[in-house]
Structure formats: structure tokens, C-alpha cells
Amino acid sequence: MKTAPPDREATLEDLEQVEGKAELVDGRLVLVSPAGDLHGTAALNVATSLKLYQRDHGGGRAYGDNVGFVLRPRTAYAPDASWYVGPRSGARILEGAPVLAVEVRSPDDYGLRAEQRLSAKRAEYFAAGTLVVWDVDVVRDHRVRVYRSAQPFEPAVLGRGETADAEPAVPGWRFPVDELFE
């Protein structure tokens, strides 16, 4: 795997050379290791639901976790699932932010430092134009926190038996929280 030499910041070109999943955060390459069964199931179920919505309604494209988005020159994230309304390019990393970014927590996404990192990531998404960010916890509290750019510090918190949405990013799309665990 290639990473940026220590004497300079990593670039999008460096990110494109990484085998496997990685993100570019403030000019640093951050490798993302496999997160496991619960994480993978939740991410796949959300992406599949979005793909079915795409087929029936159009208006954008659903992506799983193998597509990156350039939020600013030195930052590109690859959410676990996303909805994108920008132009199709065939590229591995797309220019611009998804309107919906779904981040499923990995086992190392807990604790004060992790919360600070996740909060900073949401702020990056919103600054780049993302309308809705989901923070999905399938490990500890089995909840979805739906953050909207209009109220970025007041998430809707939904649990089992409830249904989440991504308004206004994906109009009319609904996702039962229980489906995260199927």
C-alpha cells in the first residue's frame, strides 16, 4: 500500500493509490479496517434500501462504502452508505458531498476522542453541503441519530420499532430501524 511520504501532506492521488478503504482527513491518509458483521449488515441494508428507492423514484444515486467524496481539497470521506445527486463520473472518488451520508459506528467509534472525531466529521459533511448525516450505532445502544444541516447539534434519536428518514435529502424515503439488524 502507498502512503504519502512524511515530508508532505497526502493528496487525492495518494488516496486513489491505496488498496482497500481509506479516507483523506486534513491531508492525512486514514486506513479503515473491516468493522465486522453487525456493521457490514447495517451498512448493506441501508444501501440496499436506498438503491431500491433509486430504482423506484430516481433523483439521485445510492452508494455503498466503496465510493469516496471530496469535501474539500485535503479531505475525502467514504461513508458506509450515501445518496448523491451530483454528476456521474465513473471515478472512484467523486467531487462534492453526498446529500445523505450514513456512518455506521465501528467498534473503535466510542469514547470522548471518538465522539470528537465523529462530530468533526459531521461538521465537514455539513460544510461541504451534505443535508443529512446518520450516526448508526448497532453495537451499544441500537439507535440511529439523524443529524440535519439545519439543526446540526439536535439529532432525532430513533430506536428499534421506529422509522428513520433522511428529509430533505431523500424525499419520501423511510427506513425502519429494525432493518439494521436483519
Domain assignment present for 101: yes
pTM across the whole model: 0.88
Q: What range defines the domain where residue 132 resides?
A: 35-64+77-181
> How distant, in Å, are the alpha carbons of 36, 86, 170 from that of 89?
30, 9, 21
Domain assignment present for 92: yes
Tell me the per-residue pLDDT of 27-38, one tens digit each, with 9 for 90 and over: 888 877 777 899
Domain assignment present for 23: no
Domain assignment present for 81: yes
Domain assignment present for 16: no
Tell me the per-residue pLDDT of 134-168, one tens digit each, with 9 for 90 and over: 999 999 999 999 999 999 999 999 999 999 999 99
Domain assignment present for 17: no
Q: How confident is the model at residue 40 (pLDDT cuts 50, 70, 90)?
A: very high
- Give the H/E segment covering residue 156: strand 151-158
- Report how many domains make up the chain: 1
Higher-confidence position of 28 and 129: 129
Burial class (CB in 10 A: 0-12, 13-18, 19+), 22: buried
Domain assignment present for 134: yes
CB atoms under 10 Å from CB of 88, counted, come to 8
Q: Maximum CA pair distance of the chain?
A: 51
User: Quick one: average pLDDT of 36-61?
Assistant: 96
**Confidence (pLDDT) at 6:** 53
CATH code of the domain in which 172 resides: 3.90.1570.10
